[in-house]
Amino acid sequence: MTSGRLEGKLAIVTGAAKGAGAASATLFAREGAEVVLVDIDDVRGEAVAHTLTAEGLTARYLHCDVAREDEIRALAATVVAEHRAPDVLFNHAGTVEVRKLIDTSLDDWERQLRINVTSMFVMSREFLPPMIAAGGGVILNTSSISGFTVAPLEAVYCVSKGAILQLTRSIAIEYREDGIRCNAICPGFMRTDHGLKELADLQSHGDPISLDAVAQTQGRMCEPEEFASVALNLVSDETSFINGASVVVDNGSTVIT
């Protein structure tokens, strides 16, 4: 059952082929949004879109590598020409590479920053003009608790997630009078391929992290649907006065001593 909290809205979700992006796109569609799912995993992305349309919902998958400016430009042109300006832009796609700082090449550094945060700058730059011309909208960026805490072996990831918070605040202030809200969502460990691979990669580097250790700090893994419900709240009109915020979804892990 849905209450239509996004009825009449057009929502773009990146990283929507699986995990928390797919859960968010699914919830947005069930709440009445017309959803454009964006990813590089075409098989899974098409499958999620197909599942949604089979439910009678409005969804479409479009390929776009968010690390590539040319593909983002093409995505924006397609969305505006074949749909309209989005009401909701959810920049969720991202990746984590676990590596010691001294083993990190300049290519490693630039690749992760490009996928995680340069992508959000380019997406916002390309979609803001049509959103503003249409009267405004909401941008939501997926950061992480790693945006303000740090862990060994994840320097580049933490830098990228911290940069997302400042990009988010900058957009919130610069475009507030144009009807744009921009917020960041900061999850702890989630039960997705990203989260489980991150744990395995840390362990393979000798880090003592484990599901038990995660349970001690955040109780348990966050389910993708729990993340999606917070994302829905932040992109809906119910949070019309939340702007420039970093909303933590971690079951208290960053406040426990």
Ligand X SMILES: NC(=O)c1ccc[n+]([C@@H]2O[C@H](COP(=O)([O-])OP(=O)(O)OC[C@H]3O[C@@H](n4cnc5c(N)ncnc54)[C@H](O)[C@@H]3O)[C@@H](O)[C@H]2O)c1
> How far, in Å, CA of 120 to CA of 138, rounded?
13
Q: Does 92 bind ligand X (CB under 6 A)?
A: yes
Check residue 207 for interaction with ligand X (CB under 6 A).
Answer: no
The piece of 48-56, 191-199, 208-216, 240-248 that touches ligand X (CB under 6 A) is 191-199
Nearest to 155 by CA among 121, 104, 191: 104
Q: What is the per-residue binding string for ligand X in 101-120, x denoting contact by CB under 6 A?
A: --------------x-----
Of residues 22 through 41, those in contact with ligand X by CB under 6 A are 39-41
We find the least distance from the C-beta atom of residue 20 to ligand X, in angstroms, to be: 3
Query: Would you say 97 and 161 are in contact if contact means Cβ atoms under 8 Å apart?
Result: no
> Smallest gap, in angstroms, from Cβ of residue 80 to ligand X?
19
Contact between 153 and ligand X by CB under 6 A: the answer reads no
CB of 143 to ligand X, least distance (A): 7
Cβ atoms of residues 232 and 140 within 8 Å: no
CA–CA separation, 111 and 174 (whole Å): 27
Contact flag: residue 192 with ligand X (CB under 6 A): yes
Task: With CB under 6 A as the rule, give the number of residues binding ligand X.
Answer: 28
The one segment of 4-12, 51-59, 93-101, 229-237 that binds ligand X by CB under 6 A = 93-101
* 178/226 with CB nearer ligand X: 226
Matching residue, tokens 């439910």: 55
Q: What is the DSSP string of 102-133?
A: GG--HHHHHHHHIIIIIHHHHHHHHHHHHHHH
Which residue, among 188, 182, 110, 93, has the nearest Cα to 147 in the 3D structure?
Answer: 188
* Residues with catalytic function: 157
Quick one: 104 exposed, middle or buried, by C-beta within 10 A (0-12, 13-18, 19+)? Answer: middle
Q: Which one, 18 or 181, has the nearer CB to ligand X?
A: 18
Q: What residue ranges bind ligand X (CB under 6 A)? A: 14-15, 17-21, 39-41, 65-67, 92-96, 115, 142, 144, 187, 189-190, 192-195
